[in-house]
Amino acid sequence: MTMDTSPAVIDPEEKRRLRWIVFSVAFAVFMVRLDSYIVVISLPTLARYFQVGTSEASWVILSYLLVMTGSTLIFGKLVDRVGLKKIFVWGYGLFTLGSLLCGLAPTIYLLDAARCVQGVGGAMMITSAMASIPHYLPKNIAGWAFGICSLANSLGIMVGAPLGGLITGFLSWHWIFLINVPVGVLAILIVKRNLPADQNLPPPTEGRPFDVSGSILSFVGLTALVFALSRGDDEGWQSGLILAAFAVAGTSLLAFYLRERSAHDPILNLSLFRNRDFSFAVLTTLVALMLLSGGNFLIPFYLELIKGLGPEHVGAVVMIYSVVYMPIGPFAGRLSDRINPRRLCTIAMFLAFVSCLVFALTLPLPGLFPAVLYLVLLAVSYALFFPANNHLVMSLAPEGSQGTASAIYTNTMNVGMVLGVCLFEGAFSQALPTGLTTMSLTPEIIRPSLASVAGAFQFAFIVGAFFSLLAFFLSFYSGRHASAARGNQ
């Protein structure tokens, strides 16, 4: 089924304004993703500067991720209730303030607190950014805009760690945060100038108090869940801390669900999930992100342990994914304006299944060809998938719920990434020969059992192939009534 591609008549001034809107949205995505990774290479420097261990230093990353994940749903609702432009501008402002506080932090604990401020700002930015595209842009260029955002997301992830290392090496760790301040101020001015004023907001006095209980429960539940999944391998899955975190997450999320069923104006409108197409599209996102993050977690270990590459060569090989991905993302976005995005998602997940299965069957072969082929095919599949999937999810959200839909999409991606690492690491660990653990693997140790360790990698990627096949079927059944849904909005 083709989509409506009839060109809308847009005067030059309006076209310029729309381009600035897309730039503001893409730049927000870039900044949020960049600051998720910019600290990675600087962690040893931070540990030495503050005289703390690696565990304490890791909270500089974890605090940002936890707060952003926990607060995304809250700000998704506020976008729909208070106004998109307000939340976008406030988010940029809070993110910029958090960056300034990070750069000036005198202790590791104040740095963690400032990263929490950054995380709140990041949640506001990413939620309002994704909701801006269907809200402000004509439908016939929404896919193109999502493609630009997909490119910005990829760039933020790709350049974050090396940029942080360069800034720390040539200047100091303070500047990996302080560089955001002038950039953030400029971005605020661009957003205020180019985004239209918020209109058609629900009346503030309708006897619908803000869902504070739901906000607290969702924040606690999601934060505890991501904490448990992120720290389980380090702390031990059966440790008291992790079991307690899972218990808190389960109890809070169950209470959150029950609360949302009875709330007059819930944080999470559960009626969104009554739309089968929307639910299947979100599930496709979850499974697709599990495959991507899990594979990206294991591939450096494969290159180092099985192929004997050094870190610098591993980085060069893994970079193939980003190099292939970047030029295809915007093209795929434009393509999703012309044909049903569900078809693109389905094709992409089938290609991901092929890439995973072929790699699992060929990875013991000599040379780097299996890894290079896997990264190229995976890059093509996800460059096709992300713009189309984002387009599909947001197009299925009814008017007035786009902020909530954006928050659901963002949180699904975050949880999927953490789950994927757990899944692939667990499958790999279970298939390792007796006596070997993931903590003890070095090229020297595994040399006597190299074939068995390669078999463990094969098993993990076969599991990944199964999940990519699941994503293929979920995608096939998602959005089948998207056109009807759009017509009824």
Rounded to whole angstroms, how far apart are CA atoms 418 and 118?
A: 20
State whether 324 and 471 are in the same domain.
yes
Q: Looking at residue 326, what is its pLDDT?
A: 80
Domain that holds residue 31: 15-195
Backbone CA torsion sign across 134, 146, 99, 51: positive
Distance CA(264)–CA(211), nearest Å, equals 8
366 falls within a domain: yes
Domain boundary among 143, 170, 195: 195
Burial 333-350 (b: 16+ CB within 10 A, else e): bbbbbeebbbbbbbbbbb
List, run by run, the mean pLDDT of 10-residue segments along the chain (489 residues). Answer: 45 74 84 78 76 74 82 80 83 91 89 90 85 77 78 75 74 85 87 73 58 82 82 77 88 86 77 82 87 81 80 75 81 77 87 91 87 90 85 75 77 81 80 66 67 84 89 76 43
Question: Would you say residue 430 lies in a domain?
Answer: yes
Would 71 be classed as within a structural domain? Answer: yes
Phi-psi region for residue 344, left (φ > 0), alpha (ψ -120 to 50) or beta? alpha
Of 246, 266, 286, which residue is a domain's last?
Answer: 266
Rounded Cα gap, residues 306 and 457, in angstroms: 9
Residues 396 and 349 in one domain: yes
- pLDDT, tens digit, for every residue of 417-451? 778 877 887 788 777 776 666 555 666 666 666 77
The amino acid at 85: K
**Residue 7 maps to a domain:** no
Position 3 scores a pLDDT of 44
Q: Which of 233, 266, 299 is the last residue of a domain?
A: 266
Is 150:387 a contact under the CB 8 Å cutoff? Answer: yes
Count up the domains in the chain and report the number: 3
Q: What is the CATH number of the domain that holds 290?
A: 1.20.1250.20
Backbone angles phi, psi at 339, to 5 degrees: -125, 165
- Assess whether 323 and 400 both reside in one domain: yes
Task: Please tell me whether residues 218 and 139 are part of one structural domain.
Answer: no
In a domain, 204, yes or no: no
| The pair of three-digit structure tokens given for residue 74, joined into one six-digit string | 């809250």
Same domain, residue pair 374 and 419:
yes
364-376 burial, b at 16+ Cβ within 10 Å, e below that, comes to eeeeeebbeebbb
Residue 429 maps to a domain: yes
What's the chain's average pLDDT?
79
What's the pTM value of the predicted model, to 2 decimals? 0.77
Residues 168 and 312 in one domain: no
Query: Which among 41, 47, 71 has a CA at the least distance from the CA of 407?
Result: 71
> What is the distance between the alpha carbons of residues 296 and 160, in angstroms, rounded to a whole number?
16
Q: pLDDT digit string (tens) for 206-261? A: 556 777 887 888 888 888 888 887 777 777 778 888 889 889 988 988 988 888 88
Q: Are residues 100 and 216 in the same domain?
A: no
Residue-level pLDDT at 377: 92
Both 251 and 294 in a single domain? no
In the block, which residue shows the tokens 């090396």?
A: 162
- In a shared domain, residues 148 and 110: yes
447 C-beta neighbours (distance < 10 Å), count = 11
- For residues 261 and 273, state if they share a domain: no
Residues 316 and 413 in one domain: yes
Residue 450, domain member (yes or no): yes
What distance in Å separates the CA atoms of residue 158 and residue 37, rounded to the nearest whole number? 9
Q: What is the dihedral of CA 258, 260, 263, 269, to 10 degrees?
A: -150
Does any domain span residue 1?
no
Distance CA 484, CA 47 (A): 55
Closest CA to 368 of 442, 322, 316: 316
Do 310 and 164 reside in the same domain of the chain? no
